[in-house]
Amino acid sequence: MAGPTDIETLLRRAGEGDDGAVTELFNRYRKRLRQMIRLRLDRRLQGRVDPSDVLQDAYIDLTEQLPTYFARPELPFFLWLRLLAGQRLMRVHRHHLGAAMRDAGREVSLYKGALPQASSVSLAAQLLGRFTSASQAAVRAERQLQLQAAINGMDEIDREMIALRHFEELSNGEVAEILGLSKAAASNRYVRAMVRLQAILESLPGFLDRPGE
């Protein structure tokens, strides 16, 4: 993984007009951006929209908007790049879904811009893989539906905190920057969200069972 000094060198070269450095910067963060897109891609577009295509368009946006970023960098580079990719995903949603997207409330407005919300379907699928050993298709489908219904009952910001920290794997500092919170406040919100999630998981019969238990 690239260290801060390595990234700073690439940013300096990119600011000097080195196209190769721009490509390298994007590739360093491609995996994290893909995870964000997969988590937030509307389920109605799965199979119709490839995350790679969204990433390619986001790279074009990067090359066009990088001079503006360097002129006034208000966010750390990765968070700005993530926002850029999220805005591109938002345009994809609007293009394919139009009013249907707005009706479904698919946006979450946070301190540093609005992005498509991580859906209960995506969160449930991720959680199902991490927290349950169920292997039979019928059992998994039933538990995913139960979990989706439970997640839908959570506060929107709690869901977003779990998405940011647990699945996008953003650091506490990065989440604090996005939400305009102190690091302590961001950490407290995440802990509260995880406590509520744990209570939800424990309320679902057999969800946390492990083989042999």
Instruction: Compute the average pLDDT of residues 9-22.
Output: 96
**pLDDT at residue 100 in the model:** 61
Supply the CATH classification number for the domain 119-213.
1.10.10.10
Instruction: Compute the average pLDDT of residues 16-28.
Output: 96
**pLDDT at residue 114 in the model:** 61
Q: Which residue has the higher pLDDT, 90 or 129?
A: 90
**pLDDT at residue 118 in the model:** 80
Q: What is the pTM of this model?
A: 0.81
| Orientation of helix 183-203 relative to helix 137-152, angle to 10° | 130
For 169, the token pair is 């794997």
Q: Which residue has the higher pLDDT, 14 or 212?
A: 14
Domain 119-213 in the same topology as domain 1-117: no
Instruction: Compute the average pLDDT of residues 176-191.
Output: 92
Give residue-wise pLDDT tens across range 73-110: 999 999 999 999 999 999 999 898 886 655 444 455 45
**pLDDT at residue 105 in the model:** 43
Q: Which residue has the higher pLDDT, 131 or 93?
A: 93
Sequence ranges of the domains in the chain: 1-117, 119-213
Give 1-117's CATH code, choosing from 1.10.10.10, 2.40.420.20, 3.90.1300.10, 1.10.1740.10. Answer: 1.10.1740.10
Give residue-wise pLDDT tens across range 140-182: 777 778 888 888 888 888 888 888 998 899 999 999 998 888 9
What 62-69 contacts at long range (C-beta under 8 Å, 24+ apart), as own/partner pairs, is 62/22, 62/26, 63/19, 63/22, 66/14, 66/22
Lookup result for tokens 């000094």:
5
